[in-house]
Amino acid sequence: MAGILAWFWNERFWLPHNVTWADLKNTEEATFPQAEDLYLAFPVAFCIFMVRLLFERFIAKPCAIALNIQASGPQIAQPNAILEKVFSAITKHPDEKRLEGLSKQLDWDVRSIQCWFRQRRNQEKPSTLAKFCESMWKFSFSLYVFTYGVRFLKKTPWLWNTRHCWYNYPYQPLTTDLHYYYILQLSFYWSLMFSQFIDIKRKDFGVMFLHHVVAIFLISISYVNNMTRAGALILCLHDSADVFLQAAKMANYAKFQKMCDLLFVMFAMVFLTTRLAVNPLWMLNSTFFESWEIVGPFPSWWVFNMMLLLIQGMSCFWSYVIIKIACKAISKGKVSRDERSDVESSSDEEDSEPPGKNPHTATTTNGTSGTNGYLLTGPCTMDD
């Protein structure tokens, strides 16, 4: 075990040339990031999760009820022991052959059986009230952490000149504000890692899971090798759009359509500007070129920057989704399905239609109308 730890914490990987861990030990004059500080994230993540449960129960839910957001879910499927057995034990998405067999066995037409399976799948979906509570929690936390980041970063020289992120690196003292901000961000991502499995499932679950893993890895590695100045700027920059996104979703669930449209436009402008312009031209320029010039590359420097490029690739993917949504909304006026909504959400209206009606004629999603239901189903769980 000692050999494994010595290999993992090899100074030649983590630190610049001629720098050792002993050089970054805390002294009376200065405090530096210590790897063991990262353990604080786990109890803090648990506390964040518990605060979320209390917030949703005693603050978000009463607000939703005051806005006349109902807790009722989708239409309940007609009880049927045979179909329930197939649904629970065999498949939730029967193929054509199985549908024909069930049709003969039950003396139902195939369309009715398809509607039953859609209704049964939708029974497991959360209500609009649950989605509103989740969005209100993420809005509140995003607003707090972004405001806190801006408040302390505006007093720092490296916000106005990113070269200060690398001057005297890695011998840069860790301030109390920066330490709190980093641990809070890391704890929040750890809480999302676990709560994602019980949160509302969306179609880009895999991409979001990868994003959370990369975010945790980036925050951790930048803390250990004391790239916290650049890391704090990147975190604050990426938080800027989340407030508008969650606010737009809340307006959508409350059916405030004009406010929803306005907030989505603001979100799209902030997201596309910060992710496609500001981040690569400002922060990636600093982490790649300014740091190369002032400090020089070392192994963990390469890993840090490669992870940043991966995050940038995800931002490009989500930007494509947002642009696609906006183009369809502008060209068609209204659209028929979500790009990145809850699983099975595009079939909500189909389930309430009589068997003879074509499901593809539905033009709005559950709880939405016009373009709004579609607009807000871009990066709906985006926490990066």
Read out DSSP for 161-206? -GGGGTTTTT-----HHHHHHHHHHHHHHHHHHHHTTTS--BTTHH
Q: Is the pLDDT of residue 312 over 90?
A: yes
Peptide bond just before 297 cis, omega within 30 deg: no
Instruction: Give the residue carrying structure tokens 């978000």.
Output: 60
Q: pLDDT tens for residues 262-298?
A: 999 999 999 999 999 999 999 999 999 999 999 999 9
- The predicted-structure confidence for 227-243, as pLDDT tens digits, reads as follows 999 999 999 999 999 99
Task: Work out the number of other CB atoms within 10 angstroms of the CB of residue 260.
Answer: 25
**SS3 for 342?**
strand
Highest mean pLDDT among 112-126, 127-141, 198-212: 127-141
Both tokens assigned to 73: 């879910």
What single-letter DSSP state applies at residue 22? G
Higher local confidence (pLDDT), 168 or 118: 168
pLDDT at residue number 60: 96
Give the least confident one: 157-166, 288-297, 323-332: 323-332
Enumerate the β-bridge partners of residue 325: none
Q: Is residue 379 pLDDT above 80, yes or no?
A: no
pLDDT digits (tens, 9 = 90+) for 175-186: 999 999 999 999
Given a cut of 60, whether residue 373 has pLDDT beyond it is no
Q: CB under 8 Å to 343, separation ≥6 — which residues?
A: 125, 201, 202, 203
Going by C-alpha positions, the residue among 383, 384, 380, 326 that lies closest to residue 126 is 380
pLDDT at 324 over 50: yes
Does pLDDT of 207 surpass 50? yes
Provide the pLDDT for residue 327.
85
In sequence order, which residues have a C-beta less than 8 Å from that of residue 177 and are 6 or more positions away?
A: 152
Per-residue pLDDT, 368: 40
Percent of the chain at pLDDT exceeding 90: 59
Range in 35-49, 122-136, 288-302, 324-338 with the lowest mean pLDDT: 324-338
> Which pLDDT score, from 0 to 100, does residue 89 have?
87
pLDDT of residue 122: 80
- Do 307 and 284 contact (CB within 8 A), yes or no? no
The residue that leads in pLDDT, 170 or 78, is: 170
Average pLDDT of 356-371?
A: 38
> Which pLDDT value is given to residue 333?
55
Locate 35 and state its tokens: 């790897």
Is residue 360 over pLDDT 80? Answer: no
Contact between 122 and 74 under an 8 Å Cβ cutoff? The reply is yes
Average pLDDT, the chain: 84
Dihedral (CA of 330, 331, 332, 337) sign: negative
Residue 238 and residue 384 in contact, taking contact as beta carbons nearer than 8 Å: yes
